[in-house]
């Protein structure tokens, strides 16, 4: 017969290693904090209401009584894939920053599974998770038209946006990406922020097809006839190609 004390210790140890998330109640919340990154999903917009801290993949949020309940999310390291169906199926989005209203992605009260995907973005979490300082207004880009009231993107040299005027889902870029499909951003770019460097954007994978050199922010890629037509991007150095004409 197993002593009751040993049995209780065994159950506690199993729970510690098996649970990737813990529901939190109240403003501060407590929970499993292992791993290099985490996400906190909230029941209401603007990071209010019941919350759930996530530190690993959850195939079905119903296990934590949080299925179809998330209305906002905070990211504390890495990038996270959220999906409308269990087991990471159905329509999915990759998020890297806080979102005070998931309705912008048509995901309000629709998320059923979530998992970290930082390695797919090819970046160092600690470089991007600067102690939660994305929430500070003075880190936001101050260009006219840039939506700094909603989110900040750190110091990424290039940021691709799904909508014109630097709005919609965004993808920070720090190096060459031969095919944006791997990041679910293929043929989705409608505006671009350039924070540093000169960049080449191309209509086909592996920097083929029609390419343009971009050295400043573009609020509408339609200027280049590239709206929803960019498949690969890479740094192009600081010397402009001979014969390059910028439509500004």
Provide the CATH number for the domain around residue 211: 2.60.20.10
- Residue span of the structural domain in which 88 resides: 20-121
State the burial class of residue 146 (Cβ atoms within 10 Å of its Cβ: 0-12, 13-18, 19+): buried
Domain termination site, one of 104, 121, 138 = 121
Residue 208 maps to a domain? yes
Evaluate whether residue 177 is within a structural domain: yes
Same domain, 24 and 117: yes
Cα angle 179, 158, 242; round to 5? 80
pLDDT of residue 185: 93
Closest CA to 167 of 100, 240, 219: 219
Q: Is 236 exposed, middle or buried (0-12, 13-18, 19+ CB in 10 A)?
A: buried
| Nearby residues of 19 by Cβ (< 8 Å), 6 or more positions away | 32
Does 127 reside within a domain? no
Helix, strand, coil percent content, the chain, rounded in steps of 5 = 20, 30, 45
Last residue of a domain, one of 78, 101, 121: 121
User: pLDDT digit string (tens) for 97-149?
Assistant: 677 778 877 889 999 999 887 433 333 333 333 233 233 233 233 333 333 33
Same domain, yes or no: 160 and 112: no
Q: Which residues pair with 75 in a beta bridge?
A: 39
Question: CB–CB of 210/203 below 8 Å?
Answer: yes
Residues 107 and 160 in one domain: no
Residues 50 and 115 in one domain: yes
On whether both 25 and 107 belong to a single domain, the answer is: yes
- Domain assignment present for residue 231? The answer is yes
In-domain check, residue 137: no
* Same domain, yes or no: 27 and 116: yes
Residues 77 and 164 in one domain: no
Give exposure, 179-193, as e/b (b: 16+ Cβ within 10 Å): ebeebebbebbbbbb
On whether residue 11 sits in a domain, the answer given is: no
pLDDT band per the 50, 70, 90 thresholds, residue 3: low
Query: Is 184 in contact with 193 (CB distance < 8 Å)?
Result: no
157 in the same domain as 65:
no
Residues in the chain: 248
For residue 248, is it within any domain? no
77, 70, 71: which is closest to 39 by C-alpha? Answer: 77
The whole-model pTM stands at 0.42
Compute the distance between CA of residue 26 and CA of residue 95 in angstroms, rounded to an integer.
24
Instruction: Give the range among 79-83, 125-129, 182-186 with minimum mean pLDDT.
Output: 125-129
Q: How many domains does the chain have?
A: 2
């Amino acid at each position: 017969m197993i002593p009751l004390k040993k049995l209780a210790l065994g159950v506690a140890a199993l729970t510690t290693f098996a649970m990737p998330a813990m529901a939190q109640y109240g403003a501060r919340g407590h929970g499993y904090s292992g791993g290099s990154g985490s996400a906190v999903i909230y029941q209401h917009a603007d990071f209010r209401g019941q919350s759930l801290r996530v530190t690993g993949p959850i195939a079905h949020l119903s296990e934590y009584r949080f299925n179809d309940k998330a209305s906002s999310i905070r990211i504390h390291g890495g990038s996270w894939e959220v999906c409308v169906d269990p087991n990471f199926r159905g329509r999915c989005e990759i998020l890297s920053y806080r979102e005070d209203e998931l309705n912008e992605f048509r995901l309000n009260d629709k998320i059923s599974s979530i998992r970290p995907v930082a390695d797919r973005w090819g970046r160092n979490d600690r470089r991007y998770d600067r102690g939660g300082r994305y929430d500070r207004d003075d880190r936001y880009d101050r260009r006219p038209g840039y939506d700094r009231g909603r989110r900040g993107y750190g110091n990424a040299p290039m940021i691709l946006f799904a909508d014109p005027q630097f709005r919609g889902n965004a993808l920070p870029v720090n190096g060459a990406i031969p095919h944006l499909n791997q990041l679910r951003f293929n043929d989705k770019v409608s505006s671009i922020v350039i924070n540093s460097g000169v960049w080449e954007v191309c209509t086909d994978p592996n920097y083929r097809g029609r390419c343009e050199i971009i050295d400043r922010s573009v609020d509408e890629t339609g200027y280049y006839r590239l709206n929803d037509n960019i498949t690969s991007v890479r740094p192009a150095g600081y010397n402009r190609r001979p014969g390059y004409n910028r439509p500004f």
